[in-house]
Structures are given as C-alpha cells and as structure tokens.
Amino acid sequence: MTRSQYLLILSDLHIGSAFGLFPPDFQIGTGNTINLNVAQDYLWQCYNHMLRQLPRRIDYLILNGDICEGQNLSEEARMLSEVDPVFQVRAAQTVLQPILRRLNGPIYLTQSSRYHGGAGGTLDELLGERIGSVKQIGHHCIPWVQFDVGEIHFDVAHRQSVMIRYRSTALEREVGFWLERQGRRAMKRKSVPRRVVLIRSHTHAGFRMIQTEDIIAIGTPAWKIQDVYAQTSITPNRYLPENLGAVGLYIYDKAVNHQFVHVAPYLYEHPD
C-alpha cells in the first residue's frame, strides 16, 4: 500500500499590510480592534476556504518568507494596518493557529526580504521562536533551507533569481542554477540528489510549476492584493497576479503514476 505525507507551503502573507492577510477582531498595539477592509475581508474568506480543504494531518509546514509585512520602509510604511512588528507577529500566530493545530511535524521558516523581515531576519526570528520552527546554524530562520523527505531533496528559498533579458522565467533560471550546482558536485564525485523539489516565492506572480520526472520547481502564490507600489515598481512585477493562495504536496513512499510528489495548489482569483 502506498502511503503519503503531506507538506504545506505558505508564503507572502504580509500580515500587517492593509493589503495583506489579517485576522478579524484582532486587538492591535494601540488597543484598538481593526475592522478588515474589503481586500483583507476577501483574503480572509479565501484563507478559511483553504483551511476547510486541507488534510486533517499536516506533516511538514514551510513558511517561505514575508509572513509579516514589517515596517516596509520601501513604501515609507504608508500602507500598514499595524505598524508594531511585535503585534504583527502575534497576528501571524493567530492566522497560523488552525494549521499549527493539525501539524504533526517540523516547521521550516525562510528569511524574508530585508524591508519586511528586518536586517538579519529579526522579525522572522521572533516569529520562528514563537511557533517553534526548526533551528539551523543557531537561527529559527535562514535564507536558504534544504532538507530531505525520504529520497526527495527539498531546496527552499524566498527570493527567485533576478531575470535578465533572456527567454526564460525566474523559475526556469532557478532550475538551471540547480542543475549547474549539481554538475559541479558530480565533477567532484559528490553525491547528487536523484529527485528534487525547488520552492521559490517573492514575485507575487501567482502559481508557477515546472515538472520533469526528477525535478519539480514551484513558484508559490502570495496572500496579498497587489498595491500601487508593486504595480508601478521595476521589481518584482508591474501586473496583477493570476491568482493568490498556497500549495500542498503529497509525498509518496512509492511512485504513483510515475510520480513521487503530487502537487495540489489552492488558488483564488486576484480581484480587479
């Protein structure tokens, strides 16, 4: 009988942003309770719909950066529902609690962009300590997380590579960089993972996937409505994403239809 483990990937919740996910009836640092705006109410409805679709048991949880908005000095902190980073972390704990109750395994937390997570990921570190994320090289969050589930190697980072004017997407370049790194390992006669899942986020471009028999590359969607800054900046994009949401993975101990991993995205339309 083929057994499976379930892994959930969440990224770019931007809790604290006026355009990001935020729990209703949450008391912020000033003592006031925030009334969700139209964007936040829509995100909260989508998030709760996703919670109803998730398995009862979650074996692995990946939080791939920008979970909290931070003070976001790139936008001069103009689009925040809650400016206090500590209360953003508390709100993130509230948002994640229904998932943490189902979790029966480790949490991997990657470091956010500096203007969200702070220098050295200080805001991420606080969140990781509170929810008990895996501690590596002395920290609860690091820029680049790697771990194995059986024979499958997971390579996780928040940012995708910077695109230059070649006919390739950021995710395609990540696959190319992975193959290049493994080629160097093979030349040094070091072991090379047979199967790999690459996970990247950050771009807010919606769900993306590249899949071969041995490599799956996933670009995760965000939980933030596109704001004016993101629509007009050079990076990460100048358009409305195709969708919002999260990605689940069923990891099999034996191949099912020649695949060891089944990708199950939870996608919601980005409003106009």
> Could you state, in order of their start, the residue ranges of all structural domains in the chain?
4-269
Q: Residues with Cβ < 8 Å from 186, sequence gap 6 or more?
A: 192
Please give the pLDDT value at position 177: 84
H or E element that contains 66: none
3-state secondary structure of 85: helix
Q: Which token pair is 141? A: 């969050």
3-state secondary structure of 164: coil
Q: Residues with Cβ < 8 Å from 5, sequence gap 6 or more?
A: 59, 60, 105, 149, 250, 251
Please give the pLDDT value at position 167: 60
Please give the pLDDT value at position 267: 98
Decide: residue 142, CB within 10 A, 0-12 exposed, 13-18 middle, 19+ buried.
Answer: buried
Please give the pLDDT value at position 203: 84
Please give the pLDDT value at position 106: 98
pLDDT tens-place string over residues 101-143: 999 999 999 999 888 888 888 999 999 999 999 999 899 999 9
H or E element that contains 245: strand 243-256
- Alpha-carbon separation of residue 235 from 28, 68, 232 (angstroms): 31, 19, 9
Binning the chain into helix, strand and coil, the percentages to the nearest 5 are 30, 30, 45
- Given a contact cutoff of 8 angstroms between Cβ atoms, the answer to whether 200 and 160 are in contact is yes
Mean pLDDT of residues grouped by 10 in the chain (272 residues)? 87 95 91 91 98 98 95 72 91 98 98 86 94 94 93 91 63 84 78 87 91 91 84 59 94 80 96 84
Please give the pLDDT value at position 270: 94
- Given a contact cutoff of 8 angstroms between Cβ atoms, the answer to whether 124 and 67 are in contact is yes
Please give the pLDDT value at position 79: 78
Rounded-to-integer distance, Cα 240 and Cα 45, Å: 20
Pick the CATH number of 4-269 from 1.20.120.420, 3.60.21.10, 3.90.79.10, 3.40.50.2300: 3.60.21.10
Q: Residues with Cβ < 8 Å from 108, sequence gap 6 or more?
A: 60, 61, 62, 63, 133, 134, 145, 147, 156
Q: Which residue from 63, 47, 99 is spatially nearest to 267, judged by alpha carbons?
A: 47
